């Protein structure tokens, strides 16, 4: 009797699939449906998922894939043997084989699975000596580049150190630190994280502006201009004095929503905001309340730009007229005080002198009266 089962195995070229770490991913596989089918998924030689006797079989499944795989069972009769892999991990990357067997023959399809963790954000910090960019939970390792505005010679940006570490999940943290040259401290520093497949570019920038000193009571504008072409951004102003940073203003260009903690004291110009000018206007700054560090942050799609300014509000000085009036007042007050002191010192002496004079006069009067009486007696 001739068997209807063919022993030939057909195979297809590799299919390259890239999946996002922590997301679910489909590894495609199709076959020509002819009755019952046996399906086996392998990673190299490791059993990933099996299906036969019209149901899933987990007896030989490797524990790394336990609870994370399934087939589209209702689609199997239509020739769909694709595998759904849940919560993709770094360790899932590699070559997979989809083996199907029907009475018409066997088939092998190979899938090359690459995984990646997207760049979510870039953090930037600046001190007097260094500027540092970092990003967390990335895969594979991104490329980091530096630039300045105004531009500098390439050699000036070579003094940098990049550290790459991995966590228990295999994800990378990349931190790049650049030493600032003395003559470049007022430049804007840009760092860019470029994904390994070049599909993502995250850019951050930082500028330390010159310190501002202003007398209290006089309006003051703190400059903050967005990079060219920045659209759909949010703007945040924070203030730091002796305590933790305080968010004093927020603006979203998409919703036009504004939050202002210092309403009536400080605010950006609403008309200029749409043009990318987020400068903050302090109406009547106070030496105690408004002296500190102001940080302006523009956040856009895959970008963050920071401008930091130290502001010192001084106590109001006195004008020439005010000083003249004040000197006149003090002179008058001093004269009055001198006269009062003189009176206080002299008064007791006058009182004592008057008492002495009164006593002497009384004594003289009594003596004269006695002599007159004695005279009468003699007569």
pLDDT digits (tens, 9 = 90+) for 197-216: 999 999 999 999 999 999 99
pTM: predicted TM-score of the whole model, two decimal places: 0.75
User: In angstroms, rounded to a whole number, what is the distance separating the alpha carbons of residues 299 and 234?
Assistant: 5
Contacts of 260 (CB under 8 A, 6+ apart): 248, 249, 250, 266, 267
Contact 243, 314 (CB under 8 A): no
Q: State how far the alpha carbon of 54 is from the alpha carbons of 6, 42, 74, 143, in Å.
A: 21, 19, 11, 48
Write down the pLDDT at residue 5.
38
Is the Cβ–Cβ distance between 291 and 311 less than 8 Å?
yes
Decide: 152 and 104 in contact? Cβ < 8 Å: no
Residue-wise pLDDT for 11-37, tens only, equals 556 799 999 999 999 999 999 999 899
Q: How far is CA 187 from CA 131, 173, 210, 285, in A?
A: 11, 27, 11, 27
In this predicted structure, the answer to whether residue 1 has a pLDDT above a threshold of 50 is no
Do 9-116 and 117-208 agree at the fold level?
A: yes
d(CA 369, CA 379): 16
Q: Is the pLDDT of residue 320 over 70?
A: no
* Residue 169 φ then ψ, to 5°: -90, -5
Weakest mean pLDDT among 38-52, 144-158, 325-339:
325-339
Q: Mean per-residue pLDDT for 251-263?
A: 90
Task: State the Cα–Cα distance between residues 278 and 269, nearest whole angstrom.
Answer: 7
Of the chain, the percentage scoring pLDDT greater than 90 comes to 63
pLDDT exceeds cutoff 50 at 236: yes
| CA dist list (Å): 361 to 351, 352, 358 | 15, 14, 5
Structural class in CATH, domain 209-318: mainly beta
pLDDT at 33: 93
Cα 187 versus chain centre, distance:
20
Structure tokens at 335: 């004269």
Among 212, 225, 218, 210, smallest CA distance to 269 is for: 225
Give the count of beta carbons closer than 10 Å to the beta carbon of residue 199: 11
In the prediction, which pLDDT does 327 show?
Answer: 56
Confidence of residue 358 (pLDDT cuts 50, 70, 90): low
CATH architecture for segment(s) 117-208: Sandwich (2.60)
| Residue 40 contacts residue 47 (beta carbons within 8 Å) | yes
pLDDT value at residue 340: 65
343 to 41, 104, 169, 339: CA distances (angstroms): 113, 130, 91, 6
Q: Domain locations in the chain?
A: 9-116, 117-208, 209-318
What local confidence, expressed as pLDDT, does residue 64 receive?
96
pLDDT confidence band for 44 (50 / 70 / 90)? very high
Query: Considering the chain, what is the average pLDDT of its residues?
Result: 85
What's the pLDDT band for 106 if we cut at 50, 70, 90?
very high
Q: Which CATH architecture has domain 9-116?
A: Sandwich (2.60)
Please report which confidence band the pLDDT of residue 335 belongs to, taking 50, 70 and 90 as the band edges.
Answer: low
> β-strand 172-179 against 280-282: which pairing, if any?
unpaired
Q: Is the N-terminal amide bond of 63 cis, ω within 30° of 0?
A: no
CB atoms within 10 A of CB 134: 20
Asked if the model's pLDDT at residue 337 lies above 70, the reply is no
Mean pLDDT for the stretch of residues 272-276: 85
The pLDDT confidence band at residue 375, using thresholds 50, 70 and 90, is very low
pLDDT exceeds 50 at position 290 = yes
Query: CA nearest 195: which of 21, 5, 352?
Result: 21
At residue 100 the predicted structure's pLDDT band, cuts being 50, 70 and 90, is very high
Q: What is the pLDDT of residues 218-229, one digit of tens each?
A: 999 999 998 887
Q: Which run of H or E residues covers position 375?
A: helix 320-378
């Amino acid at each position: 009797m001739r068997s209807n089962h063919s022993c030939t195995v057909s195979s297809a070229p590799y299919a390259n699939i890239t999946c996002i770490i922590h997301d679910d991913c489909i590894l495609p596989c199709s076959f020509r449906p002819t009755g019952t089918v046996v399906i086996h998924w392998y990673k190299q030689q490791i059993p990933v998922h099996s299906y036969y006797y019209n149901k899933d079989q987990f007896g030989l499944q490797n524990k790394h894939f336990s609870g994370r795989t399934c087939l589209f069972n209702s689609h199997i009769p239509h020739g769909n043997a694709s595998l759904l892999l849940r919560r993709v991990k770094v360790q899932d990357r590699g070559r997979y084989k989809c083996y199907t067997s029907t009475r018409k023959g066997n088939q092998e399809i190979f899938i090359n699975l690459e995984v990646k963790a997207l760049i979510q954000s870039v953090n930037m910090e600046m001190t007097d000596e260094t500027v540092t960019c970092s990003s967390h939970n990335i895969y594979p390792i991104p490329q980091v580049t530096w630039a300045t505005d105004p531009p500098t010679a390439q050699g000036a940006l070579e003094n940098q150190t990049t550290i790459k570490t991995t966590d228990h999940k295999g994800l990378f943290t990349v931190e790049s630190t650049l030493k600032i040259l003395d003559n470049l401290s007022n430049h804007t520093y840009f760092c860019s994280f470029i994904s390994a497949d070049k599909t993502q570019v995250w850019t951050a920038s930082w500028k330390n502006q010159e310190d501002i000193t202003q007398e209290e009571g006089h309006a003051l504008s703190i400059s903050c201009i967005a990079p060219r072409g920045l659209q759909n951004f949010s703007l945040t102003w924070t203030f730091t004095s002796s305590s933790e940073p305080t968010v004093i203003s927020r603006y979203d260009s998409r919703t036009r929503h504004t939050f202002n903690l210092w309403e009536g004291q400080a605010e950006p110009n609403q008309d200029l905001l749409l043009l990318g000018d987020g400068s903050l206007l302090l109406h009547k700054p106070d030496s105690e309340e408004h002296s500190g560090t102001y940080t302006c942050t523009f956040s856009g799609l895959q970008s963050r730009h920071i401008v930091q300014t130290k502001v010192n509000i001084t106590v109001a000085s006195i004008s020439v007229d005010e000083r003249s009036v004040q000197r006149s007042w003090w002179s008058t007050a001093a004269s009055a005080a001198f006269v009062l002191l003189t009176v206080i010192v002299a008064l007791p002496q006058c009182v004592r002198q008057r008492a002495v004079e009164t006593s002497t006069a009384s004594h003289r009067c009594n003596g004269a009266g006695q002599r007159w009486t004695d005279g009468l007696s003699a007569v």
